[in-house]
Amino acid sequence: MKITNIEVFVLGDPQPDHEIDMARVDGLAFVRIQTDEGISGLSEIFTVPPGVARTVLDGPDSFLGRLLIGEDPIHPERIWQKLYNSMLHGNRRGWVIICIGAVDVACWDIYGKALGRPVYELLGGAVRASHQIESEAQRQEVIPYCTIVSDRWDRESVLKEQVERVVRLRELGYRAFKIEPMKQPPATIIELTRRTRQAVGADVTLCVDVGYLWNDVGTAVSVINQLAEFDIAFFETPLPVDSVAAYAALTRQTRVPIAMGEHTTTRWEFLQMMDEGGIGVAQPYMTTCGGLTEAKRIVELAQPRGVLVCPGNWSTSVLGMANIHLAAYSPITPIYESAPAEVYWSPLRKALQELAAPVVNGAVGFPSTPGIGIELPEDLIKHFLIAPSQAWQYHDLQS
C-alpha cells in the first residue's frame, strides 16, 4: 500500500445572526490521506490555522506532503518517526507536531481499515485489569465528560447557564461534567461548583476548569482546597501552561488532582509536567500531542507514575472518535472530554456528532467499525466548506 495523495479541507459554521455561545467553529482544518488501494484516512487538525495546515500538508509539494507521497502508511509509528526526525533541526513542537499528529491519526485510520479492525484493538486492545473495575460494563464502554461553557460571562449568566446546561445533559443520561467558571472571582467559582454538585447529586463525576486564570499559587491553593468538599475529580489549568515550578508548588499543597495538557505537545512535555509539575491528570488532545502514537506513549509513561490520562477535546466528534479509541485501550482513562452538541448552537458540531459513536446512558460502547470509525459524506463537506481565500479563519481564536 502506498500513499498517493494528502489533502486539506476546511469546514466551519455559517455566520450567526444572533448572539451565540463559544462553541462556534470558525474554520477547522481536516486532512485526508488517500492510498493506491482505495483506502483513505481522516483526521481533524485542531488549533492549527487553516492556511498553515494547507502549507504543511496539502498536496505532494507541501512541507510534509512531499515526505508522505509514496510511503506505506503501515505502520503509523514508522511514519511518525520519519516526520518527527525530519524536524529535529527545525521545529519539534507547535504546529508541526499537531500536523504530524493529524497524519498519525489518519494513518491509524487506514491501518485499521486495511486489517478490518477498530483502532483500539491495534493499540493493544482493552487492557483493564479485573481487580480494577467496578462492573463488567467498564470492559465494554468509555465515559465522556461534557464540557460546559456560558454564552455570557457576567456572574449571573455563568451561574444560571452552566447549571441549566448540566441539568439538561444529565436528563439525557450523561454522567460526567466539567464546568468552566472562567474569568470569574473565587466566590463565583465556588458557588458554581456548589450549585452544580447540588443539582446533579453525589454519583455524577464533576470537574472544574478555569482556563489558566491565576498567576499566583496562593489563590489557586485557597480556591481549590475549598472545592474539595464537592468531590471534584480534577481541577484543570489553574496556572499558565508553561509554569512548571508553579504547578509543582500547587500540587504539593492540595489533595484535589490537578489536570492540564490541552496545549501540551509530545510525551516529553507531559513527562516534565508529571515528574516536575506533579500533575495528577494528563489531558492530551489527540492531534495536539502528536497523534495516537504519541498518546499511547503518554499512557505508558503515566501509568507507572499513578497519573490518569483523560484526553481533551474542545472540538468536534472527528477528534472525539480518536479519543474513544485511546480511552478503550487505556487502563488509566476513566473519562474523556466531549463538547456535547445538544446544548450548543454549532450546526457543524451537531452534524459531526450524528456521524460518531452514539452516547447511550452516558457511555459509548467500544467501536466495532474498522479504523477510527467516522467518515464525512461529500454533501456535508460541501455544505460546511470554507474557501481557500478564507484560510485566515481559525477555529480557536486566541487572545
**Domain CATH code at residue 58:** 3.30.390.10
What's the confidence (pLDDT) of residue 399?
52
- Does residue 292 contact residue 268 with C-beta atoms inside 8 Å? no
Residue 195, classified by CB atoms within 10 Å of its CB into exposed (0-12), middle (13-18) or buried (19+), is middle
Asked whether residue 356 is assigned to any structural domain, the reply reads: yes
> How many Cβ atoms from other residues are within 10 Å of residue 218's Cβ?
11
3-class DSSP assignment, residue 299: helix
* Same domain, yes or no: 67 and 168: no
For residue 305, the model assigns a pLDDT of 98
Q: Is the residue at 371 inside a domain? A: no
3-state secondary structure of 312: strand
Q: Write the CATH number for 191.
A: 3.20.20.120
Sign (positive or negative) of CA dihedral 235, 238, 240, 246: negative
Per the structure, the count of domains in the chain is 2
Tens-digit pLDDT string for the chain (399 aa): 999 999 999 999 998 888 787 789 989 999 999 999 999 999 999 999 999 999 999 999 999 999 999 999 999 999 999 999 998 887 778 899 999 999 999 999 999 999 999 999 999 998 777 777 788 888 889 999 999 999 999 999 999 999 999 999 999 999 999 999 999 999 999 999 999 999 999 999 999 999 999 999 999 999 999 999 999 999 999 999 999 999 999 999 999 999 999 999 999 999 999 999 999 999 999 999 999 999 999 999 999 999 999 999 999 999 999 999 999 999 999 999 999 999 999 999 999 999 999 999 999 999 999 999 999 999 999 999 998 877 556 665 555
> Are 54 and 99 in the same domain?
yes
Judgement on whether residues 385 and 340 belong to the same structural domain of the protein = no
Instruction: State the CB neighbour count (10 A cutoff) for residue 306.
Output: 9
The contacts of residue 127 (CB under 8 Å, 6+ apart) are: 329, 331
Residue 9, pLDDT score: 96
- Expressed as residue numbers, the domain containing 170 is 122-365
Choose among 245, 307, 249: nearest CA to 280: 307
- The pLDDT of residue 397 is 57
- For the record, the C-alpha cell of 20 comes out as 451565540
396 is a domain residue? no
Instruction: Tell me how crowded residue 284 is: count the other CB atoms within 10 A of its CB.
Output: 32
Does 94 share its domain with 218?
no
The DSSP H or E segment spanning 169 is helix 155-171
Residues 112, 130, single domain; the answer is: no
Residue 393 is predicted with a pLDDT of: 62
What's this model's pTM, rounded to 2 decimal places? 0.95
Alpha carbons 323 and 141: distance in angstroms, whole number: 13
Q: Do 61 and 133 lie in a common domain?
A: no
Collapse the DSSP code of 29 into the 3-class scheme (helix H, G, I; strand E, B; otherwise coil) and give the result.
strand
Triad 99, 103, 108: Cα angle to 5°: 145
What ranges make up the beta strands (E) of the chain? 3-11, 28-35, 40-44, 141-142, 144-148, 176-179, 205-209, 232-236, 258-260, 281-282, 308-309, 336-338, 364-365
Q: What is the pLDDT of residue 89?
A: 83
Q: How far apart are CA 128 and CA 125, in angstroms?
A: 9
8 A C-beta contact, residue 144 and residue 364: yes
One domain, residues 58 and 190 = no
399 falls within a domain:
no
pLDDT of residue 396: 58
Q: How far apart are CA 394 and CA 390, in angstroms?
A: 10
